[in-house]
Structure 1
Amino acid sequence: MKQPAGVILAGGQSRRMGGGDKGLLCLGGETLLARVIARLEPQVAEVALNANGDVVRFSDFGLPVIADSVAEYPGPLAGVLAGMDWAAARGHSHIVTAAADTPFFPCDLVPRLLLASDKAPIALAATPDPERGMARHPTFGLWPVDLRHDLRAALAEGVRKVVAWTDRHGTATAEFSATPFDPFFNVNTPEDMARAEGLL
């Protein structure tokens, strides 16, 4: 498989952070989004940003910005679909998604997802969780763009949960360590931002 394209998911409404773009918040002198780009870019063929609204606010990053093609903010699956459509038009067979509010995700995310994808068409990152066993991180995945028409139909049917759709197709997991902390820790609240400052 050729190196996949990367899609950063920043299409949410950030309600728990008081609205606005979480990715544009600063952590240790750099925006969360700049930190995510720096981790993802070396691992993929090219990067696009999935975000809705005025694209000018992201112009400093120099990335193509792709909006959801499904109305009313139906969640991360809409961003995955937008990324699939963009990547298919550019000749890519797969995309890897990463969330814009997760500044510490692994620098070997993509190779580990590619390795896991030998077992199933879709691969999601996962880490051990004391309560749930192995917890999947549905915004960090490897997705074949050939499934985009199926995903479009599922969204039209009202499917919103990522795993509700991925489990229809068979999903492998790439398992990562959660020591000394879960690398998929994401910034949802001001308290999370304070914790991220400590983790830096």
Structure 2
Amino acid sequence: MITPQDITGLILAGGRAQRMGGIDKGLISFHGKPLIESAIDRLQPQVGTILINANRSITKYSHYGYPVLMDETPDFSGPLAGFSVGLKHCKTPYLLTSPCDSPLLPNDLAEKMGTELEKNNLELVFASSKENDGKIWSQPVFCLMKSSLKDSLDVFLCKGDLKIDRWFKELRSGTVVFENPQVFANVNTPEELAALEKVSS
């Protein structure tokens, strides 16, 4: 069984947030505190230790007391760049990733994905959400992976490919469907932030 001590949590705060006017999303206020604090609060009980991937506001993020890692690939090359630096610094058998702007992420994310990974002998499990209309949407930035995937990801990135689902296809990967789509709600615009504060108050 995979325990929290086996898992390093990686919070992805490295994006450009263009739809938010370019401000640093992890530091936007949600219910009176920066978004990243909600992500930390949700992840903390599920993992043994936390890493933060950020490319700016390094000093502010380091105030939380966790290592802050910058992408090693240039030009904001998306979540896989964050995964890559997270895997490089991961000292546990597993890495659990989550974006900084989904403050309602599931409290049982690690547990459910860990069970799926072990049951089916997978290398990586990502989350999916079941929307109100019954459609299943993949949520690929929420995933639990073996830390031994570092070399596989480095080879993939060296080819110049940044598509997250294409990397997943090269692995023994699977998904866990979460019934409540709200838990993956993320904040891309000021309007979405206001709406999410309403439903989660």
Q: TM-score range by the shorter chain?
A: over 0.9
Residue-pair matches, total: 195
CA distance in 2, matches of 1:10, 1:143: 19
CA distance in 1, matches of 2:84, 2:134: 28
Q: TM-score, normalised to structure 1's length?
A: 0.92
Superposed displacement of residue 129, structure 1: 3.5
Task: Give the secondary structure class of the aligned counterpart of 2:138.
Answer: strand
Q: Which residue of 2 aligns with 1:144?
A: 146
Q: Which residue of 1 aligns with 2:73?
A: 70
Matched, 1:162 2:169: no
Counting only pairs closer than 5 Å after superposition, residues 1-200 of structure 1 correspond to structure 2 as: 1-2=2-3, 3-87=6-90, 90=91, 92-118=92-118, 119=120, 120-129=122-131, 133-178=135-180, 181-200=181-200
CA distance in 2, matches of 1:22, 1:148: 27
CA distance in 2, matches of 1:163, 1:35: 27
- Cα deviations by residue, 1:66-101 (Å, 9 ceiling, x for unpaired): 1111111110001011110010xx3x1110001100
Superposed displacement of residue 149, structure 1: 1.1
Superposed displacement of residue 159, structure 1: 1.3
The letter for the 1-side match of 2:168 is T
Tell me how large the CA RMSD over aligned residues is.
1.5
CA distance in 2, matches of 1:45, 1:56: 23
CA distance in 1, matches of 2:152, 2:134: 29
Q: 1:132 to 1:165 in 2, by over 3 A?
A: farther
Task: Give the secondary structure class of the aligned counterpart of 2:184.
Answer: coil
CA distance in 1, matches of 2:166, 2:150: 15
Superposed displacement of residue 182, structure 1: 2.3
- Cα deviations by residue, 1:35-92 (Å, 9 ceiling, x for unpaired): 00000011001001001135112132111101111111110001011110010xx3x1
Task: Give the secondary structure class of the aligned counterpart of 1:106.
Answer: coil
Task: Give the secondary structure class of the aligned counterpart of 2:170.
Answer: helix
CA distance in 2, matches of 1:43, 1:130: 27
